[in-house]
Structure formats: C-alpha cells, structure tokens
Chain A
Amino acid sequence: MPAAALDPGLLLVLAVMLPATGAVAALALPGRWAGRIAFGLWPLGLAVAVAVAWTVWAAGAPLHYAVGGWAPPLGLMLRADGPSALMLLVAAIVIGAAGLYARADLRPEPGATESRAAVVFWTLLMALWSALNAVALGGDLFNLYVALELLTFSAIPLVCLGGSAKTLQAALRYLVFALVGSVLYLLGTALLYGAYGTLDIVLLSGRAGPEPAAILACALMIAGLAAKTALFPLHLWLPPAHAGAPPAASAVLSGLVVKASFFLIVRLWFDVMPGLSTAAAANLIGALGAGAILAGSVMALRQARLKLMIAYSTVAQIGYLFLMVPLLFGVPQAEIAANAAWSGGWLQLASHALAKAAMFLAAGLIAEAAGHDRIHGLDGVGRAVPVAVLAFTLAGLSLVGLPPSGGFAAKWLLLSAAVATGQWWWAVVMILGGLLAAFYLFPVIGRAYADGTAAFARPRDARSREFVVLALAVAAALLGLSQLYPPGLLRIGLGSGLAGAGVP
C-alpha cells in the first residue's frame, strides 16, 4: 500500500468518526454490547490521537482535511494544531481511565445481563468523546457550534445517570445554562457570517477587523462559552451537576467537558480575533478568572461533602486557565506560542484534567468504602482504600501546585509570565489560590490517614479501580517533568501554517 497516497488528514476524520460510530452501534446492538464496543474502540481512538499528535509534531505544521474535498469558504475544514493534539491526547487518556473505572463500577448485579445505567453510560461516553474531538478539530465556527451541542447533549444525561430528583434538578439547571450559552454563541456566529461571509477560523482571522459587528459577536460568543465553562460568576450550575454524577461521569465532566468550551474561547481570542482584544476586555476576563480562583477556593473550603468540595475546586482551577488572556495581552501574534503563559495555560488544562479526574475517581472509591462522602466522617478511610487515598494525595499535589506535578509547572509558568509582564496582582491571586487549595485538601488527606473508629468496607473490584486512579494521579503528578523536555508541540498554531492550512 503506498503510504504517501494516504492523506494524513484522514486521521482527523477517524478521530471524530470512530467514537461516533461506536455510539450509533451501541444504540443499534443489544445493550450488553455497549461496554465491549467502547473497550474495542478505545485503543484505536488513543492510537489515532497519538498519531495526530505525532504527525503534527513531526511536520511542525497543522494537519488539515477538507471534508468532501470542498475547500473553505464553501466547504468545512478539520484542522489540528498543537493545542488540538493536546486536547485529543488528554481526552483519550481521561476517557479511557473513566471507562476502566466504570467497568467495575457499573457492572450489572449478579443475574442481570445488562443494566440500563451502564448502557446509557457507554453510549454517551462514546458520543461525548466524538464531540470533544470534533471541538478540538473543528475549523468552522458553525461546525463547532454543532460539536458543542453534541457535547452538551451527551454530558447532561451523564449528570442525572443516578436518576434521583436532586441530580435531575442539577441536570436541568446545567441544561438551562448550557442552552443560554449555546444560543449566545449561535447569535455571534450569525453576526460574524453577516459581516464577513465566512465562518472558517483561518479565513476569518484574515478578514475580521475591529468593527462593531465583530466586537459584539465575539463578546456574545465568549459570554456564552464562559457560561458553559462555568467561569465565575456563571459557575452556579457546576457544583451540583459535577458532584451528583457517578464518579466516572464526574471525572469526564470536570476533567474534559468544561475544557472544551474554554478551548473555543482561546480559539476565538487568539485565532479569530487577535486584532480585536483590548486591555479592558483582557483584564475583565482575567478578573473573572481571579474571582473564580478566590470564590471557588473559599467555597471549597466551606464544603462538608467531599464531592462538592472537589467540584468547587474545579471552579477555582478553571480560573487559572483564564489568566492566560491578560497575561498574553499585548504579546505580538507571532510570539504568543513561545510565551510562558501560553504553555502554562495549556499545561494547566492538561494537568487539571488528569488530576481532577483522578480525584473524582478516588473520591468515588472513598465514598463507596465509607458509604457516604461527609468529610468529617472519613477518619481512617485510608486503611480500607489505601491506594485511592494515595492517588487523592498525588492529585492534590497538582491542584495545590507542588513540584514536580503538572499543576506546579503550569502555575510556575503563569507566575513567571505575570512577573515578567509586571502584572504582579495575578501572581498574588495564584499564590493565594494555591494556599487555599492546600487548606481545603490537606485536612481531607490528614483525616484519611488518621486513626479512626468507624468501620469501612473495602468496595468490590477495588483493586482494578484503584490501579486506574493511581495511574491517572501519577501521570498528573509527573506531568510537570514534561517541561524539562519541551517538544514544541504547543507552538504549532493554526496561523503558523496558513499556506498549508488549505486557504486559497
């Protein structure tokens, strides 16, 4: 087979279509097949993600594929740059871990061949994976809208998988926020199309100027996406939704789903409208991020339940991502990808995805051992599930920002960018956020290792799940070492390969 004849861009189609096919097949085949399909597809999906990252890195330029052979502005383009490749990899890893965890967690009761929750979980997990990859690879703003909606529709039923009134309420609230967010995004795309006659990201970046229509459109889209990312003060839906879902679903929701809309904010801000950002807008986004860090951490500190505490910690950790925007303000377009804040922001996204997924899964095991997730009743739970508590501790290192974790490297890069640009106030907020994270996490860890009188039962199939959780947590804790060997993947931006990106 002549390898040169194969378009490497087909990998991008595979990344979206493999899990989508799996989701459809899981609907068509008997329920007991859903899990097997997901497990059969996962290694393939991971291989595709690795292949995309490898190809982008080796070529030093974005990968692209014109769907149906139609070039923009008529056709739709799939594109993969460095950050897209990172998203694909992180999604594949977290989804795989959540799947392995769920295989034991959702195993049907003895005698039953399939459980409804399990079938729904596997089908939605594959749909969610496909939508995440479509968000990472989409090159057209309307195409991205569809991907975002697919993501929302597969994420919301995961929230209420348990089926209790409380989780249904959380799902409904999440849905309302998500729908407002997506309708605002859609309104923005309408305005952009009306003004420039295209929605292709690369074409738009060449055409969009600081006109009122473009500014209004971007403001609407970013506000909508911020609601979906749960940026403070639009975070109200997140804690009940993420805390009420089953552990494997929480890991995917907190680790990946909120990152997808953040990813699009970065796309809009740095790829579509590099000329439109003003100091006031950048500082407003930074201030909301700082508000998220402080408010999320303080709320996490006040929680009596472990899963709610972890969910509020997600609100806080999302705040760090948004500090990228003011820290990169004023940096010339060509130098953004080489800036410390750029790598810091993406590293924070990746390390939070791994650490938070590990933490939610560990909390699931801890809650199963204890029969509840009230923090003050967890004294000595470390004896029942020692590996889960160890994983919780390692993931905590990353959230607090202690070396050599990915969280440490990310926050260090962001801090150094804040100092280098003289914006010391963001540095103060980041240090405070780290301290507060230590305040809300260490008491839990201390209790888990303390002597306790309460009796804890070891959950069934705990060993395999503990191994998965530990692997994720170790990955998060060692991610910081990737800074020692920067492969330059993140520097490959959409703009860097304009000639090769299929623009006429």
Chain B
Amino acid sequence: MTMTVFGLCGAALVGIGLYGLIVQAQPLRRILAFNLLGGGVFLLFGVIARRGAVEGLGSDPVPQAMVITGIVVAFSATALAISLVVRLKETGRGDDEGSA
C-alpha cells in the first residue's frame, strides 16, 4: 500500500517535471522542472528496491546504488546548467557595457 502511494507520487513528480520542462521557457524554471522529474524517477527506483527486497533485507541494494549514482549525475547536470545560466547572464551584461 505504502509502496503504491510512493509509486504514484513518483509518477506525479515525473508528470509535473515533464510538463514544466515543456511549458516553461525560463532556464532556471526548466532546471527546477528537470530536478522534479529526476526526483520522481529516483522515488520510483526506491519503490522498485523495496518491491524487490529479498527475505530478511529491507530492500534490494542494487537500485539504491543506482539512485546514488543518479543523484550525483543529476546534481552535476544541475551545476553545469546553473553555471551556463550564470555565464550567459554575465556575458549578456558584458556585451551591453561594451556597446554602451
């Protein structure tokens, strides 16, 4: 039962994230939407880990290992995206000053 709730939450997060990525035009909002989408996928991994648990273990460790990797990747992706946005902002301002 709990797993179904978590699974549905994951699906809802994936849906919201995907919607945001398609609809939003601002880079920062898109990055946030990507993080929501990623969060939904990670939650799904958690559900799968719990469902695949062997007798005596709380959960299957393999999907958990994947989630850790996935979170690191999503974090690096966010950092890269944010640094691009910051750089874009700085470059844009630099151009304005140059022309003024």
Count residues of B near A (Cβ-Cβ below 8 Å). 33
Among listed A165-173, A282-290, A329-337, interface-contacting one: A165-173
Contact: B92 with A153, CB < 8 Å? no
Pick from A99-107, A187-195, A483-491 the stretch touching chain B: A187-195
Q: Are B84 and A186 in contact (CB under 8 A)?
A: no
Q: Taking A172-B27, A175-B77, A180-B21 as contacts, is the C-beta distance between A190 and B84 under 8 angstroms?
A: no
Partner of A183, one of B37, B45, B69: B37
CB contacts under 8 Å to B, within A76-99, are none
Dominant secondary structure of chain B at its interface with chain A = helix
Scan A369-403; emit 1 where CB is below 8 A from any B CB, else 0: 00000000000000000000000000000000000
Measured CB to CB, the closest approach of chain A to B49, in angstroms, equals 9
A422 at the binding interface (Cβ < 8 Å): no
A190 lies within 8 A of B44 (CB): yes
B51 touches A194 (CB 8 A): yes
CA distance A194 to B43 in the complex (A): 13
The verdict on B62 contacting chain A, using a C-beta distance below 8 Å, is yes
Contact A165 B92 (CB under 8 A): yes
Docked-complex contact A175 and B73, CB < 8 angstroms: no
Q: Which residues of B contact A191 (CB under 8 A)?
A: 44
Q: Which residues, 49 to 67 on B, are CB-close (under 8 Å) to A?
A: 51-52, 62-63, 66
In the bound complex, how far is the Cα of B73 from the Cα of A493, in angstroms? 31
How far does the alpha carbon of A165 sit from the alpha carbon of B51 in the complex, in Å?
48
Name the residue of chain B whose CB is nearest to the CB of A156. Answer: B80
B72-85 interface bits toward A, Cβ cutoff 8 Å, 1 = contact, 0 = none: 01001100110011
Total contacts A-B at CB 8 Å: 85
List of A residues within 8 angstroms of B80 by Cβ? 153, 156-157, 175
- The chain A residue sitting closest to B46, CB to CB, is A190
Cβ of B9 under 8 Å from chain A: no
What separation, in Å, do the CA atoms of A367 and B38 have in the docked complex?
Answer: 41
Q: Closest residue to B21 on the A side, CB-wise?
A: A180
- Chain A residues 207-227 with CB under 8 Å of chain B are none
> Is A142 an interface position by the 8 A CB rule?
yes
Does A149 touch B at the CB level, under 8 Å? yes
When the two chains form their complex, are residues A172 and B88 in contact, meaning their CB atoms are under 8 A apart?
yes
What residues of chain B lie closer than 8 Å to A182, measured between beta carbons?
73, 77
- Known contacts A146-B69, A168-B87, A197-B52; is A180 also within 8 Å of B34 by CB? yes
Q: Are A193 and B91 in contact (CB under 8 A)?
A: no
- Which chain B residues numbered 27 to 47 have a C-beta less than 8 Å away from chain A? 27, 30, 34, 37-38, 41, 44-45, 47
> Is B16 an interface residue, CB under 8 A from the partner?
no
Could you show 26 A-B contacts with beta carbons less than 8 Å apart? A142-B66, A145-B70, A149-B76, A153-B76, A160-B87, A164-B91, A168-B87, A168-B91, A169-B88, A172-B85, A175-B80, A175-B84, A176-B21, A179-B34, A180-B34, A180-B37, A183-B17, A183-B38, A186-B70, A190-B41, A190-B44, A193-B52, A193-B66, A194-B44, A194-B48, A197-B52
A-B residue pairs, 3 tightest by C-beta: A194-B48, A168-B88, A165-B91
Interface set of B (CB-CB < 8 Å, partner A): 14, 17-18, 21, 27, 30, 34, 37-38, 41, 44-45, 47-48, 51-52, 62-63, 66, 69-70, 73, 76-77, 80-81, 84-85, 87-88, 91-92, 95
